[in-house]
Chain A
Amino acid sequence: MNLYIKLISGSLRSRMQYKMNFLVSSLSYGLIMAVDFVLLAAILQRFDDVKGWNLYEVGLLYGISSVAITLYRVFCVEVHNFERYMIEGEFDSLLIRPVSPLSLLLTRNLDLSRIGGTIQGILILVISIIGLNIKNVELFLLLIYLPISILSGVIICFSLGLLTATIAFWTQRIKDFQTFTLYAPFNAANYPMNIYPGWLKIIFFTVIPVGFMNYTPILFLLNKGGTLWNLALPPAVAFVFLFLSLRFWHFGIRHYHSTGS
């Protein structure tokens, strides 16, 4: 853990050498996500709800999903950009270090410009909770559970990111896969799962289980259905998925062949 903090703080210092660039990119990244939500708000302001979910209820889903994927983008930059290690042959240098390649990847870099997206996601969550006007036990339960939901989302996102990165051992390039495994599913998770056709729902609750991160628990927390199990499922699914992705990652490393150049 000490090593992790040292490596991260080093990365942070190097980033802060370009303060203006950091500020402007954070703001613009936050702006992109804000515009997305403003458009959704424009639709729901005019048409009230989407299959029984009003703006603030969708805002909860949207906020959790946004915060989860942006935290992944802040802390897991090198996992996300892993194809560079394959294309430029840099992975060999990670294998000869006394620390595991994954730990090195996770501590090498931070993309703080994505923090703007996290802040924007948190703002949407705050606005939504205020707008929902829920009280006492329900509010308390929601506030207690939000961090668990976000953490489950980050773990699911990281697992999907790692699974996609592992594919690079065979395909080298993964950018096009990421649109399929990360961007599209997390975009879909911004909205309630009940609007999707059956085959999409199956995908989002099995191979790319983003539906568990926010839809499953919020369904129960907003009294829209489900049981207490809805609260236990997100972390459980996240850890099972993490375990599977780590296994796949190690399988990938065992089958890695350097170009020798």
Chain B
Amino acid sequence: MASTDLVHAHAAPQGFIRKYIFSLDHKVIGLQYYFLALIAVFTGMFLSLLMRIHLIWPTAQLPLVGEIKPETYLGLLTMHGTIMVFFVLTTAPQSGFGNYFLPIQIGAPDMAFPVLNMLSFWTTFVAFVVLISAFFVGGGAPLHGWTGYAPLSALPNAGPGQQLGADLWITSIAIFCVASLMGALNFITTTLDLRAKGMTLMRMPLTVWAWFITAILGLLAFGVLLSAGILLLLDRNLGTSFYVPLVVVNGQVMGHRGGSPLLWQHLFWFFGHPEVYIAILPGMGVASQLISTFSRKPIFGYRAMVYALMAIGFMGFMVWGHHMFMSGMSPYSAFAFSLMTMAIGVPSAIKTFNWLGTIWGGKVRLYSPMLFAIGFVSLFVSGGLSGPFLAQPVLDIPLHDTYFVVGHFHLIMGVAAIFGIFAATYYWFPKMFGRKMNETLAKVHFFVTLLGTYAIFMPMHYLGMAGQTRRYSQFTEVAYQTKLIPLQTFMTYAAFVTIAVQLVFLFNLFWSMKKGEKASDNPWEATTLEWTTATPPPHDNFGGRTPVVNHGPYEYSVPGAARDYTMQTDPATAPVD
């Protein structure tokens, strides 16, 4: 079926630079993204470690860092949030695994625009370097948190980190917007155009659906952040006042007047809420894929899963105001946002029930990828349940600036998405490197991480309800807050353990690349297209041919079939009369 002129457009590159640095191969680019995210996640984790240490030993003299001052704490907070949200949660699951596996799973030889793909990675890289450089300029990292609320972010004299550091922060975000835009349009075009024969929309694996819808969200959301960032740069450097009303800083009247900080919040969260789904949707796709594979059952309600993904993506654009109940926004729109936010729980619940329904009665194989997928569902539920609380303005107003919100979004958006990344790593590692990761270390990693993250983030809900405010660097001065310090101490110790076990993961990752058990082409007995090709996949993914798809993505335990899985490329069975 595949004629010769349909093989990959660009030949396999020869030299080191074209092969590993400026590669056009989506698989290499996917790995580049993955390792960039790995560097970023350990950087971000180190920052969070410093914050946790500071919270219980505020005056400690740390090696290398010295004593952490309150403004340094805020700088750490900003950089932790920004690195984690943009360079880990957006980069690893979507750009990393999506780049590697989206083309393979739909039977394409590469992305639709390989050059754009390469540019997208290197632009992301530049954005990361620019962001990190904010630590090293005069004044240090910006203080305004990853949300960059104006007027704090718009006034260079509002704090020590608000000078060059904040400019670098905004520039980095703007560059990242451009990079994501390039990535997103590439993903969408590839999915629209390059599906192999027989790979109809309703035969695409749920991972592909998740990456596709995430890309649409990215396409529509990042453009708005870009213009919000441009206006913020104008406010900072050209003296305009889009976001700044008449303000007094340190007894000095600023030259701005007439702007509105609400505008920044609206524009930012118009991007920011879809961004939350950009982080979590790929994890949902991975969880669906893995739970079906390791339960040896078709996914429960495939179409419902697809429509739920679409509904989440669609409604993700209508709920951004729930981040702004505290902002003085019109109460009427707060009401509408509250309703929509509650409603978005419905497709999320559909997905959760379908995952559970898939596991129900399956022949579950508890390998490490499956454990992490179940961990994803667990964290998604426990993080998600506090969502309906925060969706109501009446409850949100007392809880919003407390640790309750910190616990909520870390569980659902932070750790759940990270569990999705771990699950994907353990699952696809044999395909990417030809070897399996060590299973014992993986299980240790899983259980300690699961218990550890719950131990860190569950108490935050209690702290929040007890009134402990977020973003404070020190609680020793306020009487009612000092009583909560033991709980903070417990969380810090839990963080030590959890971070230590991540080093086990890192060791396992690199050790298994060299020394791991050799894996076959289809070690998990899965059905999707990446398992039909060689390990690691050749330059054009399928060695000059284009696969022909005859089956849906999750045909496990089909009655009457010879084995308990039917590959997507298996010959179509003759219709039974």
Q: Do A and B come from one complex?
A: no
**A residues bordering B, Cβ < 8 Å?**
none
Q: Which residues of B contact A (CB under 8 A)?
A: none
